[in-house]
Structures are given as C-alpha cells and as structure tokens.
Structure 1
Amino acid sequence: MTDGSPIGDVVARMRQRADELPPELARRRFFLETYLRTTQAVGRAIDQGLFEDPAWVEVWDVKFAELYLRAHDADLVTRAAEGSDVPRPWRLAFDASPELPALAHVLLGINAHVNYDLPQALLAVIGDDDFLDPQLMDKRRRDHERIDTVLAERVAAEDGELAATGPRSLIDRVLTPLNRLASRRFLRESRQKVWHNTVELQQARVQGSYEKRLGELEVLSAAKVADLLRPGQVLLRLAVTGFGVTLPPP
C-alpha cells in the first residue's frame, strides 16, 4: 500500500479527520484511529496476496470507508445546523457519553459500520448481473470472509492500543483473554449476517423496494447499537446475543 493508492488516500483522509477533531469530540478518536490502523492492515493484506481479487477488495474497502467518512462529516455539519442526515446507528454511536471507556466507543463504531454500512458497500461493488454468476459470487464471498483473517490478527494489537488510553478495572484485565476470543467469534457471526443482508438488499434493489429494506436495516442496526449502550460487560453479552442483525423476509 502506497500513499498514492486508493487505500492510502482514504487512510490520509481518516488521519485528517483525526487531526481536525474538536476537543469536545476527542472520544471519537478511539474508533477513528482503530479503523485507520485496520484499513492500513487491509492494504498490507492486499499487497501480500491474501485475496483472490485484490483489485475488487481495494475498491470495496474504499467504498466502505467512505460511508463512515460521510456519516462523520454529516454529523459535524449537523452539530452546527438544524436537521440531520446522519443514519440512526451512527447518530447513537456519535452521541454516546464521553464517560464511556475507549473499548465501548470502538465497539459502537464497529457495530454501526459493519451492520449498517457494510451491506451497502458490498452492493456498491457487486452488480445485479454478478449475483447471477455463482462462481463469481463464491469468489466475492470468500474474499469477504478473508477480511476476518486481517481483523482477527488485529485484535491483540488493538487491545494493546486501547489499554494505553487509560487504566482498566480489575475485571476488565481478568477478562481480556476471554474478550479476545469473543471478538473473534462475533466477527465471524456478524460477517455471515452481513452477507445475508446484502443478498436481501440486492433482491430489494431488483424489485424496486431497496429504500424500504434499507430503512428496515437502519432500524435493526440502531437497535443493536442501543443495546450496546446498556450497562454491563459488552463483549460478554455480545458473545451470547451476537453482534450482527438479520433482515427478516420482506
């Protein structure tokens, strides 16, 4: 990954957003910097040949990041004016209390981004004709699942980054190994649900009901973010209830 590559460019845009965060929104840096490092890791994985179609993964990853940047920028505008173009999952994540620990802010951002944005990003780079080609779709699905390899390798490193943000309670320190296992589990679980939701949204796109179904996904994703805002050990609860959301039949 070079600075002039599409992923290098989107990383630079993330870094600019982090540098320009106003002091009262400093809590937003926890997710933003985690996401920046993860995007860099995806870029390295592309360079190392992890994916079957690296050019497609690169375009997809940039589309995915742009949905987050759009929500981030829209929220900054909204704070200075009336009205809101910020999707509900992101609105809840952005408005979370600054008193929450860094891990909570990271999980809120990941949840909003994966559950709500990721199916949209996949549909942006998979055309309707592509869905009629089983071999191509199998390849797309396998590359979609390979992202978990990158994310799983980041869990321990990101845990170390979060540990450096401040002291942790005794129970958080004791539960760290279990939390890492739970992280890997809910990554796999949520990715399977994302693929299901992508297929549901594509069918809606063909049938002319895409906006309605996307609205349903927005409601489900916002409800999951709201659930994460409840008190308690979030990762342990996610290990039981799951991280993702599932669109029901239309």
Structure 2
Amino acid sequence: MSAAFDLSGRRALVTGSSRGIGRAIAAGLAEAGAALVLHGRDPDRLEATRADFAARFGEERITAAAFDVIDAEAVAAGIHRIEADAPPIDVLINNAGVQHREPLLDIALADWDRVIATNLTSAFLVGREVARGMVARGRGKIVNIASVQTDLARPTIGAYTASKGGIRNLTRAMTAEWAGDGVQVNAIAPGYIHTEMTQALVDDETFNGWILGRTPAGRWGTTDDIVGPAVFFSSSASDFVTGQVLFIDGGMTAVV
C-alpha cells in the first residue's frame, strides 16, 4: 500500500458500523491500518461486530461505543468517553441513517423528523463534537455519507432525499469553517448498493430491472465499492481535497 493511503496510527469512528455500508467501511479502514471505534444502536449486533473485528484485526485496535446520534447531550458524552482515556479521533465517518418510504402527501411529521434527524442532524451533531478536538489539534478527516438522492429524486422517499441533499451543503459548510484548521470534510454518495437492507428491492423483479437499465455499469453496487473512496478521504492522500461529494453510482448520475 502507498504510504499516502496508510492509516496506521489513526483512530476512526464509524457511526452505524454494525452492518451494511458502515461495517464495510470500518473493515476497509482497519485493513488500511486504522484503529476503530465501532458504533450502532443494537447492543447485541454491535458486540458481535466488535468481537469479529477484534478477532480479525486485534483486540487492542477495536473498541465500540453505543450512543444516540440525534441526542446532543448523548453525543457529547459519547465522544468524551471515546477520547477520555485513549487516542483522539482522527477520522470520522458519519454513516448512521434510516429510510422511510411514503408519499409526501401522506408522511407523518414524526416520520419526516425522524429521517431528517437521523440522516442529517446526526452528522451535524457528531461532526461538530468530533471537530472540536480536530480543530484544536489542527488536523482531522470527516466523511459524510450522502447518496445519489443528493442529486436525484424519485417518488415516496422525499424525506430521505431532502436529508441527503442537506448532507451536500453541510459538507460544504463544515469545509468553509474548518478547512483553515486542517480538517478536511468530504462526502461519499453511494448509488444503489446491494445490502441486507436493500435485498427486498433486489428481489423485486421490476425494480431490479429498472436499476440495471438505469445504471450504465449494468449492476448494483457492492459495499466493497465504497471502501476505496472511504480510505482515500480518510488518508493523507486527500489532504488538499475538501468540500467534495464523490458519487459511487456506476454512472447513474452522469446520464439521462
């Protein structure tokens, strides 16, 4: 591995990393040498992930933290606990997110608020708390997970689309305020990725056919497709890259 992409000596917090894209990113960062703080809402799944990673990458490099990413006090306390008796967080991947499928005319305000809070406000809360230390130290990497819905929309996912559009400009706002202090903030925008959460869509013959036809690469993405860009944005290879959104979508947003 090129030294520019080596994450040895860096500590990374990945929110929502007990499954799916977050878990794949966390594994990729560990393979590049990073120590990890895993995060999730389900204590049993989080512990199972921690144990698996500890066996693969070494007990000393893997820890786990469970806190509510939409509760400002819980976030502050969680980040304080993570950094209290251990190296500080050098890399933050804001990955926690939810989906809710319902037409805008029907969606309840509570469901709208839940999606916006989980997908967008959490990135602000966790990002701000971690950035306090990064700004003071004069270095750090933050990667926000966006989506093709940062640029595109389709029926029934209005709240998700709004939240991911917000991630683009949150990334820019963080860049405007923290780039001068040595903190690079970028976003990764996955296309349609085959995970356990999207399995029902893959199994839907009509929807699957639409995805394959709409994506120039002619396939669903995999979680492995997200790992390389995440390592790049987390490493010194991207030290002069900030405020950017990188679409990992097989060409979907490049064509009509």
TM-score, structure 2 normalization:
0.37
Instruction: Say which structure is richer in strand.
Output: 2
Instruction: Say which structure is richer in helix.
Output: 1
Q: Which has the higher contact order (CA 8 A, sep 6+)?
A: 1
